[in-house]
Amino acid sequence: MLSFEGQVAIVTGAGRGIGRATALALGKRGAKVVVNDYGGGFDTLTPGTSEVAQSVVDEIVAAGGEAVANGTAVGTGDSAQTIVDAATKAFGRVDILVNNAGGSRPFHNVDEDADENLEGVIRSNLLGSLMLMRRVWPIMRAQKYGRIVNTSSNTVLGQQGMLAYVAAKGGIIGISGSAAIEGRPLGILVNTVFPQAYTRSVEDTAEPGAMDWFKSHTPELVAEGVTYLCSRECDASGELFRIGGGRFSRYGIYGNKGIESADLTTEFVAERFDESRDMSDAEIVPDAAYDMARFNAALASDWQGDLKSDWRK
């Protein structure tokens, strides 16, 4: 069993579902855990109670681990500082941050629902993760060590009726990639996950015919994969992983060779549009620096740049 002895983890949204399973998995392996959960509704608006987080703390302690509860709702810089202060007050450091907290609204079309409701979804999913990363960063930088796992969603690939949620989860991929570039030289590794599990967030959204099958996708099957990404043994950073139902796989943004012309015209694109979309020679594009070098190499036959160089060095 991998050991997290001597390490302190903050897990947000840890009162139920994947967050709870992750907190328990880390606690079982020796990590001291700050179990954060405001205890409210998945709609980000329903008031909650810290008893939800405390119940998970009780489970960890009963199993011989150490943990403290925190009922602060994520979404602002002040709340992020409160959560981090709870960790340093209780345990003196922060080694691991799992940004799992989030929420969504009932399905609405693009022009429906109130602006303030959509803003609440973006706060809980995107700003909550961003602010917590910012608050743990100085601690991890001073330690020359840290592991951060941010929770996105495969809905960013396109999902009707969840505009604000999709926007927030897409932003998670961007901030994770940027932080990974800056963090690697500091010993801070940052990865992103697309989780899939049967939790309260999908109880009213999964197809009725698939519900029984989906129930086998337990939160624990996601948490075990997330826990590996939190470990000393994991050296990956800036990557995206799809985890659920016993499956663990890497996802990525790919780019193909494309088409080019010094005198690109609308008609040229129209004539060769199918060729421009051919992905048979595609490769993963890990970051913006690689993308820029790759793009410019295709345009300049005498390109002498190094496609492997980027800001992570």
The CATH number covering residue 220 comes to: 3.40.50.720
Query: In this structure, are 16 and 125 located in the same domain?
Result: yes
Closest CA to 60 of 94, 98, 96, 19: 19
Indicate yes or no: pTM above 0.85: yes
Is 304 within a domain? no
**Phi and psi based region of residue 51 (left: phi greater than 0; alpha: psi -120 to 50; beta: remaining):** alpha
Is 243 within a domain? yes
Catalytic residue among 38, 145, 165, 251: 165
* pLDDT block averages, 10 residues each, the chain of length 313: 97 96 98 93 61 96 98 95 98 98 69 78 94 98 98 90 88 97 97 86 59 74 98 98 96 94 94 97 91 82 53 42
Query: In this structure, are 194 and 280 located in the same domain?
Result: no
Q: Positive or negative, the Cα torsion across 41, 80, 236, 293?
A: positive
Query: In this structure, are 259 and 246 located in the same domain?
Result: no
Query: In this structure, are 224 and 286 located in the same domain?
Result: no
Query: In this structure, are 292 and 161 located in the same domain?
Result: no
Query: In this structure, are 125 and 174 located in the same domain?
Result: yes
Is 169 within a domain? yes
Q: What is the total count of domains within the chain?
A: 2
Query: In this structure, are 276 and 227 located in the same domain?
Result: no
Query: In this structure, are 19 and 56 located in the same domain?
Result: yes
Q: What is the pLDDT of residue 226?
A: 98
Q: Are 98 and 230 within 8 A, CB to CB?
A: yes
Query: In this structure, are 181 and 138 located in the same domain?
Result: yes
Query: In this structure, are 214 and 273 located in the same domain?
Result: no
Query: In this structure, are 244 and 259 located in the same domain?
Result: no
Task: Name the domain boundary from 222, 251, 280.
Answer: 251
Q: Is 198 among the catalytic positions? A: no
Q: What is the pLDDT of residue 313?
A: 42
DSSP state of 49: -
Q: What is the pLDDT of residue 311?
A: 41
CA distance 245 to 21: 14
Cite the beta strand spans of the chain per DSSP E: 8-12, 32-36, 66-70, 96-99, 146-151, 188-196, 240-244, 247-251, 254-255, 283-284
What is the residue range of 267's domain?
254-299
CA distance 184 to 245: 30
Q: How far is CA 269 from CA 85, 147, 243, 257, 301, in A?
A: 55, 44, 38, 14, 21
Q: What is the pLDDT of residue 47?
A: 60
Residues 6+ apart with CB under 8 A from 297: 303, 305, 307
Query: In this structure, are 241 and 138 located in the same domain?
Result: yes
Is 134 within a domain? yes
